[in-house]
Chain A
Amino acid sequence: MSEIEFLEWVRGPGFEIATVIFIAGVIIRLLEIVILGRKENLAEAKGSEMSSGLRTIVTRTIPDKGAFKRSTFTIVAGYIFHIGLFVTIFLFAPHILLFKDVIGLSWPALPTPIVDAFAVVTIITLLAILIHRMRDNVLRFLSTKEDYLVWMLTILPLITGYMAFHRIGMSAPTLLAIHILTVELLLVAFPFTKFMHAFTIVLARWYNGAISGYRGVES
């Protein structure tokens, strides 16, 4: 297979396969969670599940002061790389074209050098996060193969994307094809790994907020 054929494959059948697995996986995973349902709470309510649930979806984004002090690195690094991922994935002009093509929606892009800077910062942050994960007592203990796999699948598209943009090391079609392939690997792994938190975080925060809100507790 020539590099252009490789590129055509990842842009064509490869992307289609990955998208199908991603969409099907995410929908099935969400349904298998939601359909389980919860028992109706029979205790006399002190607050609203819905409003507290919705509020918590937003408020949980801001860390508690004390928690911030104790988990500073995790929170700061987490913020940086999530924002970095958001910018590089959703605000880079070529990516917006992809979304436009697939879902029909389009929005303004950030200037390329800014996205480029975000990519560098994000890559560095993710490397720091890996080192932290391997050195921190709790994280080393908690980490499973999946955690390292997910880390890898997160940083690879960034690195390959950076290389493809700057055309480092290999021919341009190969770099681009590898970049797209790494994203497809991410998409395939997404529904079956902790990547799912991108979707289930809404459910989880809602449930937490609802459980607390019902009791009149701020969460």
Chain B
Amino acid sequence: MSESVQFNIQVGNDLTWNVAPLLHEVKHALKKLIDDGKTSIIDLRSIPLAPGEEDTILQTLGQGEVHARLDALGPSEIIETQYSGVWLITHYNADDEIISRFIEVTNMPDILNSQKEDVAEAYGRLAATLENPELQNN
């Protein structure tokens, strides 16, 4: 998790020929987002990719303006690629191992939004905090 995105790069040639079709799918998803506002998710783990192929995909998509980091049961990295609306979401476990990776085509990945339940809980917590006599005294 350094400045530039680190990928699990392995040397190898393109072997499965899944790279181009997948990128085309991203293009179609983007068109759908423009036309109907429909969002899409692609699970990169569900597609057989040879060592190095995932890297090719990620390098093609590149890095855009947004780079966010979550801390929720281990880190997660959410970046907007150089193509606006195409997001790359990588979840890691507590040991910094990738546990899943998605390409989301959306205006804003849902996981970045503050969640209703968390907001409600936050409200309760803040209220409780403010009831703390020490604070009131100040």
Query: Is there a contact between chains A and B in the complex with CB atoms less than 8 Å apart?
Result: no
Residues of B within 8 A of A (CB): none
Could you tell me which A residues sit within 8 Å of B by CB distance? Answer: none
